[in-house]
Structure 1
Amino acid sequence: MNDDLVIAGVTFKSRLITGTGKHRSKQDLLDSVQRSGTEMITVAIRRLNLDDPNQETLLDHLDWDRYRILPNTAGSKTADEAVFTARLAREVTGSNWIKVEVIPDAKYLLPDPVGTYEASKRLIAEGFVVLPYIHADPVLAMRLEDIGCATVMPLGSPIGSGRGVLTSEEIQIIIEQSSVPVVVDAGLGVPSDASLVMEMGADCVLVNTAIAQAGDPGAMGEAFKLGVEAGRMAYQAGRIPIREQASPSSPTAGVAVAAGRSG
């Protein structure tokens, strides 16, 4: 059965997006990307040194014929900064895809819903394919879908926290209401977190820190790949209903009853 992920008309076999930040070495990055099976990789444009065109950047180490680059606006505190960064990203990469991040608070790194909406609306009008990073807010997710965002990307928990999925009820509502792909982004710590949201019906996950900072990023990238695949398969298989009481796994009808002992 065909089970491809489709975003803005582009087809992906993998439902795992990975990031380039926080890797300890170039080799860790290459290993994790390869073993994760990802087909899309996000890059923070504002964190690249673009003043010196001869200086190596992460973009030089990856085969962009094999992977789709997803520039992001990380580091933007306002809608204006995010729009500026998106335009710069399009100039540098030639891609009109952009992951919109508007994060004014450096302590908790929670996205600004108003700034995200404003930046997304402006960028869509300029022809960008917009994938907005948001808190798990079902109302905001619907508003962003209504203006033409290609996905919605609710957080599981704060960026880089590894706390797992603290917003499962809100993510479930977003999944139920959305007609665009739902990509759970931020806070996932282990493959079982990815499997959990995929079992709920999420279309994809984005993982960076949990892979990049693992003891063995290559192995963790592969583990997340398997977690995503298992969660997706379980969702399609259909879980059993949750019951208030136990339900015997063996049949009770027609069971032979042992004869009593005579005195």
Structure 2
Amino acid sequence: MQITINGERRDVPAGLTLEGLIQELSLAPERLAVERNREVVRRTEWPRISLEENDQLEIIHFVGGGEKQLTEKFEIGGRVFSSRLIVGTGKYRSYEEMKAAHRASGAEMVTVAVRRVPLDRSAESFLDHLDPALTILPNTAGCYDAETAIRTARLAREALQTDLIKLEVIGDQTTLFPDNEQTLEAARVLVKEGFIVLPYFTDDLIMAKKLLDAGCPAVMPLAAPIGSGLGVQNPANLRIMREQLPDATIIVDAGVGTASDAAIAMELGADAILMNTAIAEAHDAAQMATAMRLAIEAGRLAYLAGRMPKRLYANASSPLTGVIR
């Protein structure tokens, strides 16, 4: 049978419910409103309403004003995101500052650390200060061997009911460089247990291949030591990784200090960037979050556009014919 959706005629199966239509259109129901034949339909009624021939539907959501944003999306473990910026939750001076920065960043995913509950005082739930619409990515920060990281990941899954895990196994306390071998060992175990593993590791192409072969849906090479703000220290490594792994999801993690660092990482072909300290330790966290969002969009567009080749000598941009002599 045929119905009209937002002014367009569509063929749909007979007996399809309104809820079924929303699912068929792959729309997230949480922020939608539906009008059927000029009557608003409450969300609780969607499962009970069967569509009929020539129904007129209007399905709306909310958009911001201003210029159109970069709409290209990327996927992690079956989850689709519009924002290519993933942010952390530590080091902020207050929860209000953190929330303002998160809003300004446009991020749809945030990382949280897994820690023991303090038994000597009542623990305020940190999660109460996060926007419920955000995807939470627990991490195993602070783990120094595969066994501890695996145990931490299992606890995180039970607490948050999520299979997502950012896998960190630290190998050195001074530099916080990852232990790649322990990371790979933990990744293999966690993937077999059904986790969606996002591993933090050094910018090593061979290790990236091993982690992908182990079943990780994305890899997270560092740009520089965690919290250093040094920016991309080995651009050639990231560029090679992108060229050699064209179909892999590469998320630069750690070391970004300011917007230009983020733009460079994206220009090198990163699919996304995870950062915390660069935003949280800025004098104005929300303003830096905005800068990072724009830098990531600019860097991604520049990568897709393809930069001009570098030349040793000048190459005139104006035509040389017809010059007055």
- Fold in common (TM above 0.5): yes
> What letter is aligned with 1:19?
G
Confirm or deny that 1:97 pairs with 2:167: no
> Higher strand fraction: Structure 1 or Structure 2?
2
Which residue is 2:235 aligned to? 168
Q: 1:49, 1:57 within 8 Å by CA — same for their partners in 2? A: no
Which residue is 1:250 aligned to? 318
129 and 52 in structure 1: CA distance in 2 versus 1, 3 angstrom threshold: farther
In 2, Cα distance between equivalents of 1:208 and 1:54: 27
Q: 2:71, 2:82 within 8 Å by CA — same for their partners in 1? A: no
In 1, Cα distance between equivalents of 2:78 and 2:121: 32
Q: 1:155, 1:167 within 8 Å by CA — same for their partners in 2? A: no
> What letter is aligned with 2:207?
L
Question: Structure 2 matches for 1:31-70, cutoff 5 A?
Answer: 31-46=100-115, 49=117, 55-64=123-132, 66-70=133-137
In 2, Cα distance between equivalents of 1:256 and 1:225: 44
Which residue is 1:152 aligned to? 219
The alpha carbon displacement at 1:54 in A equals 5.5
Which residue is 1:261 aligned to? none
In 2, Cα distance between equivalents of 1:77 and 1:151: 21
Which residue is 2:155 aligned to? 88
Which residue is 2:295 aligned to? 227
> What letter is aligned with 1:42?
T
Confirm or deny that 1:132 pairs with 2:199: yes
Q: What SS does the aligned partner of 1:182 have?
A: strand
Question: Alpha carbon RMSD of aligned pairs, Å?
Answer: 1.5
TM-score, normalised via structure 2 length: 0.76
Which residue is 1:19 aligned to? 88
**1:112-142 deviation digits (Å, cap 9, x = unpaired):** 0110000000000000000000000110000
Question: Structure 2 matches for 1:171-210, cutoff 5 A?
Answer: 171-178=238-245, 179-210=247-278
TM-score, normalised via structure 1 length: 0.93
Q: What SS does the aligned partner of 1:49 have?
A: coil
In 1, Cα distance between equivalents of 2:240 and 2:293: 25
Moved over 3 A (4+): 50-54
Q: Which one scores higher on RCO, CA 8 angstroms, separation ≥ 6?
A: 1
In 1, Cα distance between equivalents of 2:76 and 2:130: 22
In 1, Cα distance between equivalents of 2:126 and 2:281: 17
In 1, Cα distance between equivalents of 2:324 and 2:112: 67
In 2, Cα distance between equivalents of 1:80 and 1:133: 16
Equivalent pairs: percent with the same residue?
48
Quick one: which of 120, 129, 146 aligns to 2:187? 120
The alpha carbon displacement at 1:50 in A equals 6.5
